[in-house]
Structure 1
Amino acid sequence: MSDAITLELKTSIEAIHADDWQTLLAHLPQEQSSNPFIQHAFLKVLEQTESVCAKKGWQPCHLAFYEKQSLVAVLPNYIKAHSYGEYVFDWAWADAYQRHGLEYYPKSLTAVPLTPITGPRLMTSLAPEKWPALYRAAIQWAEQSHMSGWHINFVGKQEAGILESESLIAKQDIQFHWHNRDYTSFSDFLSVLKAKKRKNILRERRSFDQAGAGWTFEWLDGHSASAEDWALFDRMYRNTFDKKGGWAQLSENFFAACAKAMPEQTLLLLAKHDGEPLAGAFFMRSDDGLYGRYWGCFEEVEFLHFETCYYQGIEYAIKHQLALFEPGAQGEHKLARGFMPVLTRSFHHISHRNFREAIANAVAQEQEWIMINYQSYLEHSPYKED
């Protein structure tokens, strides 16, 4: 890294001024700069509500780069005490460390917490040829701080191209995204599907309507949703996690705080039966994308999840002319419902040389299966012309 650029560690996102952060975002293309998950306000809400904090295993330690006292780059970064909430799975790596009497945690992670959404991770005004030095500085800091390694998750295409030349372990996975082909209606979308897939979707929606006559759906944003609405959805969210034995990592006031901080980008969909809300889904949006994040319900009803989290989202994207709808991580069942496979990318530096080689070999073998599955999904596209 150039002697003119210095690295400072920020243990709170508030230590970086929001205006300086926004100045860096302005250097991104418009479709990237409006990504809700890289906004200063979103990361601030995560910290202020203590959804992300040291006691939950997410110690903020943002890497801020300065040139002549001006912020020129930042990597949202965390010291992790576990691997929950990352969606890039390295539990086997941690187990291997433990079996050999070594500590895998703490580790350094550049990512958006609890969010498997691809997007920019390096916000910078510097030219791309200067980016490698910033990544190397992140690695050097991790090693000097006795971290087991540095990880950067769900990076965008441009960053991935640069990181691939940095001798890091490259890991790919598959998600399923819906792409708007200039549809004018849900029926227009159905018309380009293969007959079997189209009939299946119609059957699911018809069966749901018949099984639950009286269902209505209401879209709310940060302006129109009340504090009671957000409290209600929080109960739905926690009820669903409790039933599945999972860990609801978001704090109880997160949803309301996010809506207040980002009212245009925060969305709540309530599913009501005879006027009573029984299920809901939390979405966020950018200028051209919709992102499904959390779902919750009080009653299990056949096809309610598909209707709330998939079909209503597709209708919203068509209505608002959004190019992309990402409904969440994984789930090959989405393929039959119009969502196509997309490769996600993360990169990893392991400090221990022997483990670095072993993990690199294991990941290389895993990636062969990932690509086989990816090609198989493409071959089984639900679209007529694919």
Structure 2
Amino acid sequence: MKKRVLGLMMTAALAMGLFAGCGPADTGADPAATTDTATESSDSSAPAASNGKRVAVAMPTQSSERWINDGSNMKEKLEALGYEVDLQYAEDDVQAQVSQIENMIAAGADCLVIAAVDSSALVNVEEQAKEAGIPIIAYDRLLMDTDAVSYYATFDNKGVGTAIGKYIEESKDLANTDETYTIEFFMGSPDDNNAVMLYNGLMEVLQPYLDDGTLVCKSGRTSFDDTCILRWSQETAQQNCENYLTGFYADEKLDICATAFDGFAYGCKAALEGAGYAVGEDWPLITGQDAELMATKNIIAGSQTMSIYKDTRLLADKCVTMVQAVLEGSEPEINDTEQYNNGKITVPSYLCTPVAVDKDNYKEIIVDGGYYTEEQLAE
């Protein structure tokens, strides 16, 4: 079984030839370049002899559409290269994921791809993989407090928060307005490093407007600790929003729901409808992330304002090239060796670029890019 390949000494040459739709935080990237790359990168991946090698893919849950897409995309691409693929979902059960990974190791996996439910619970099983010589690639959620991880494939998570913040800033013209807007925050899971980075990117944009009173959070809950939602729970987001509306907005309308995930947007939508808000009348600006099919339909209908489009086909492509490089004894393409310190090491990473989508540009980015069809969106 191949020994784990570490890529801690990366040269500048590794940053050349990046996907057109992926790269360091540039949320103004050309949408056409982003979507066209999915076909280009798939076509350029020539099948290689897998020598019967097995790739085990541990995904967190099937409760979110994006993880289903991630898993199926990766499985398809790995199998096209001739690898045997063991894809399993833990349904947000921490111990279930630990057991799954233990079984993957025992079954003779040659490489592990892990999107963690709670990475703090995986430290011991990751050490088992390291001792067995099995390389680990973290997928879209950084594996914390371990030196067993070789690489990390993700989107620019701070850039996601920045894009959400800038969308709010520009939509409400915060830099120039004399108006005051009320806002409440619904941030990601405290056991997911991505959630913290997203929050940091968001607040870099919005904190000045909270400080000068342009934005007012009547609940006073603006810190990450006060706004994070364990396991990205839609139900908790709805309950929080209901509590805010009842406790703080009986006499004044809520203008902005700054949410970090489409599931949170669904929860806020349900809470707002229950409180009597109506689309087209007093409906607030609602943000999201992942551009799920339902979220895109809601954007078209006006009950969600925007989402962050993250083409999981591109992310799967990038992770597959990492797997292939590791198993062939070479070094994968990397474009970040500084941001993702997991408490033990700084993990060499590849960051794809997120893109904000709304009613004005979803056709160009999502439909023309082949992510969803008009028929799917009309169902």
Tell me which protein shows more strand as a share of its residues.
1
Q: TM-score, normalised by structure 1?
A: 0.27
